[in-house]
């Protein structure tokens, strides 16, 4: 690479930090409009935070949205998946690696993806994932609830640090 190319490359702004959201957090944000997700939604839709997601995660959301248990909320599945497609940054399904193991195999994809893609945060309310917070922190990943993340973000007036 030539010096001008190096200088031009170094002048590019760093991409916004990245987050992985488990399915329940996506539902809290897009379907239930949980106020604890308001700041998260604001940051993602403004491009100040990158939401990383895999095809397997999208498939899980589509499956969950199709369940009768959500009928009371009358989800517009097409609209919700369109929101996913608009704001989620697609990353490949992560291959199982030497990552902390989740008690719930269905949730393993979230921690594998967060670590493989270099996300700063994995947001979840799932106890099995939250129990991995200590092990994940050693790998520079913060696992937190949306409420805890939002409180830290509001307190710092910026996206919370690692």
Given the structure tokens 């269905």, which residue do they identify? 106
Is residue 33 a part of any domain in this protein? yes
Given the structure tokens 């599945």, which residue do they identify? 77
Q: How far are the Cα atoms of 58, 71, 79, 87 from residue 124, in angstroms, in the given order?
A: 16, 23, 23, 18
Is residue 10 a part of any domain in this protein? no
Please indicate whether residue 155 or residue 144 has the higher confidence score (pLDDT): 144
Is residue 136 a part of any domain in this protein? yes
Q: How far are the Cα atoms of 56, 70, 103, 129, 130 from residue 107, in angstroms, in the given order?
A: 11, 20, 8, 7, 11
Q: What is the band of 31 on the pLDDT scale with cuts at 50, 70, 90?
A: very high
Is residue 146 a part of any domain in this protein? yes
Q: Which two tokens stand for residue 142?
A: 């913060």
Query: Which structural domain, as residue segments, surrounds residue 135?
Result: 15-156
Local structure of 128: helix, strand or coil: helix
Cβ distance 146 to 40 under 8 Å? yes
Is residue 6 a part of any domain in this protein? no
Total domains, the chain: 1
- Tens of pLDDT, residue by residue over 84-123, are 999 999 999 987 678 889 999 999 999 999 999 999 999 9
Cβ distance 146 to 34 under 8 Å? yes
pTM over 0.85: yes
What CATH number corresponds to the domain at position 122? Answer: 3.40.50.1010
């Amino acid at each position: 690479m030539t010096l001008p190319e190096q200088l031009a490359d170094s002048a590019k702004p760093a991409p916004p930090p990245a987050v992985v959201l488990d399915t329940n957090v996506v539902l809290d944000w897009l379907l239930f409009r949980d106020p604890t997700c308001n700041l998260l939604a604001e940051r993602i839709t403004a491009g100040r935070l990158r939401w990383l997601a895999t095809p397997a995660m999208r498939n899980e959301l589509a499956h969950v949205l199709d369940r009768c248990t959500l009928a009371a909320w009358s989800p517009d599945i097409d609209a919700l998946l369109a929101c996913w497609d608009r704001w989620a940054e697609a990353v490949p399904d992560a291959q199982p690696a030497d990552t902390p193991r989740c008690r719930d195999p269905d949730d393993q994809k979230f921690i594998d993806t967060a670590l493989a893609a270099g996300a700063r945060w994995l947001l979840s309310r799932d106890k099995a994932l939250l129990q991995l917070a200590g092990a994940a922190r050693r790998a520079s990943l913060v696992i937190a609830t949306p409420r805890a993340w939002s409180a830290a973000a509001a307190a710092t007036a910026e996206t919370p640090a690692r």
